[in-house]
């Protein structure tokens, strides 16, 4: 058994990835398993099937010292319990204990954003930093905040749901959480798609409107049309950038970080990132002495690297 290798499992909305990683986050081997919209018990079956498959014929020199798991939804990380995926899929499952019983290895679990923040501290732009914010702006918005070297969790591990801080009291932008003007309702991929639909009658000639009739419109498509000065796309994209910059300024006021590390598909759009930096050119940001940067972790495997960072906490 290798104390320098962990088995990482990342379960996202569409795929499950399993891999072996070392302490430099090198991926020694990995395998992808299709998932989809699953209940927790269906997901547990898939997790067991995938791990059974992955661990078959593993040479002894690759035998991991622990298992780290990154999951969507609410996690009680201290007790290793997967509380729910969302309120409609709620079946508290002692996943860490079940994995340990079946495979004889220590197991730690955490949610996807907390895993990503741990990965930044262990392997990424947050290395050697005690005070930084990892902010994911993708389909949704969430943050992992390190303060004084500790990841802030709150008593239910739900700290960091910053997408639901309101940044726009004037606007009429309802959020599925019940409030209005949440950052996530304006700056996330899902929020931008919803706002596009609510503006359709005001911008009938925008090509985005006809695209929205055929399905979900991705943020990268909206930014593409913004670059071509389509008025609806410009509005959605600049509002998203404004909302994100307000959110960051609020977080900086609360946590006084040295660095803000951005992840997620929206944040990594060059159009968005450039305008965001212009919006953030205010005196308050001088206190963030290491600036606002994009995550350097490869997005196609960052979930796996996050799960590995979770796994290594069992081997410290
Ligand atoms: Zn909300």
**pLDDT tens sequence across 178-227:** 888 999 999 999 999 999 999 999 999 999 999 999 999 999 999 999 99
Alpha carbon of 192 to ligand 1 centroid (Å): 13
Question: Is the pLDDT at 170 greater than 70, yes or no?
Answer: no
Q: Which of 8-12, 233-237, 295-299 has the highest mean pLDDT?
A: 233-237
Confidence of residue 12 (pLDDT cuts 50, 70, 90): confident
Query: For residue 2, what pLDDT is reported?
Result: 78
| Chain centroid offset of residue 99 CA | 24
Tell me the C-alpha distance between 46 and 95, whole Å: 13
Confidence of residue 49 (pLDDT cuts 50, 70, 90): very high
Q: What is the DSSP letter of 289?
A: T
Q: Are 273 and 248 in contact (CB under 8 A)?
A: no
Confidence of residue 168 (pLDDT cuts 50, 70, 90): confident
| Beta-ladder partners of 69 | 9, 109
Alpha carbon of 47 to ligand 1 centroid (Å): 31
Confidence of residue 1 (pLDDT cuts 50, 70, 90): low
Q: Are 87 and 120 in contact (CB under 8 A)?
A: no
One-character DSSP codes across 167-211: --SSS--B-TTS-BSBHHHHHSHHHHHHHHHHTTTTSTT-HHHHH
Question: Is the pLDDT at 80 greater than 70, yes or no?
Answer: yes
Alpha carbon of 183 to ligand 1 centroid (Å): 7
**pLDDT tens sequence across 229-275:** 999 999 999 999 999 999 999 999 999 999 999 999 999 999 999 99
Alpha carbon of 51 to ligand 1 centroid (Å): 36
Alpha carbon of 189 to ligand 1 centroid (Å): 14
Tell me the C-alpha distance between 255 and 112, whole Å: 21
Tell me the C-alpha distance between 238 and 295, whole Å: 22
Name the helix (H) or strand (E) containing 260.
strand 259-263
Alpha carbon of 95 to ligand 1 centroid (Å): 29
Which positions ≥6 away from 264 have C-beta within 8 Å? 136, 137, 138, 139, 141
Alpha carbon of 176 to ligand 1 centroid (Å): 6
Name the helix (H) or strand (E) containing 117.
helix 112-123
Alpha carbon of 71 to ligand 1 centroid (Å): 21
Out of 1-15, 101-115, 180-194, pick the least confident.
1-15
Q: Alpha-carbon torsion 261, 116, 145, 4, what sign?
A: negative
**pLDDT tens sequence across 62-78:** 999 999 999 988 999 99
**Residue-range domains of the chain with CATH:** 2-121+300-315 (3.30.420.40), 127-294 (3.30.420.40)
Q: Are 146 and 118 in contact (CB under 8 A)?
A: no
């Amino acid at each position: 058994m290798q104390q320098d290798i962990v088995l990482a499992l990342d379960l996202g909305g569409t795929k499950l990835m399993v891999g072996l990683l070392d302490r430099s986050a090198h991926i020694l081997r990995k395998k992808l398993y299709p998932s989809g919209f699953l209940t927790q018990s269906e997901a547990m079956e898939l997790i067991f099937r995938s791990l059974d498959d992955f661990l078959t014929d593993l040479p002894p020199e690759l035998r991991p010292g622990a298992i780290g798991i990154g999951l969507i939804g609410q996690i009680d990380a201290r007790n290793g319990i997967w509380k729910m995926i969302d309120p409609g899929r709620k079946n508290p499952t002692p996943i860490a204990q079940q994995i340990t019983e079946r495979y004889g290895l220590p197991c730690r679990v955490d949610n996807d954003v907390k895993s990503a923040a741990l990965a930044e501290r262990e392997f990424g732009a947050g290395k050697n930093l005690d005070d930084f914010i990892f902010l994911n702006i993708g389909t949704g918005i969430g943050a992992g905040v390190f303060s004084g070297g500790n990841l802030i969790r709150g008593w239910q591990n739900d700290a960091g749901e910053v997408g639901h801080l309101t940044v726009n009291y004037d606007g009429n932008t309802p959020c599925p959480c019940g409030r209005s003007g949440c950052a996530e309702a304006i700056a996330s991929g899902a929020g931008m798609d919803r706002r596009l639909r609510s503006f359709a009658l005001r911008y009938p000639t925008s090509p985005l409107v006809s695209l929205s009739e055929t399905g979900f419109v991705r943020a990268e498509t909206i930014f593409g049309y913004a670059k071509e000065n389509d008025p609806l796309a410009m509005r959605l994209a600049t509002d998203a950038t404004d909302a994100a910059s307000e959110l960051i300024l609020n977080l900086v006021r609360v946590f006084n970080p040295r660095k803000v590390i951005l992840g997620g598909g929206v944040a990594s759009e060059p159009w968005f990132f450039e305008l965001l930096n212009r919006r953030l050119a205010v005196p308050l940001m001088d206190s963030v002495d290491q600036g606002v940067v994009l995550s350097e972790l490869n997005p196609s495997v960052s979930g796996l690297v996050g799960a590995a960072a979770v796994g290594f906490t069992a081997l410290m």
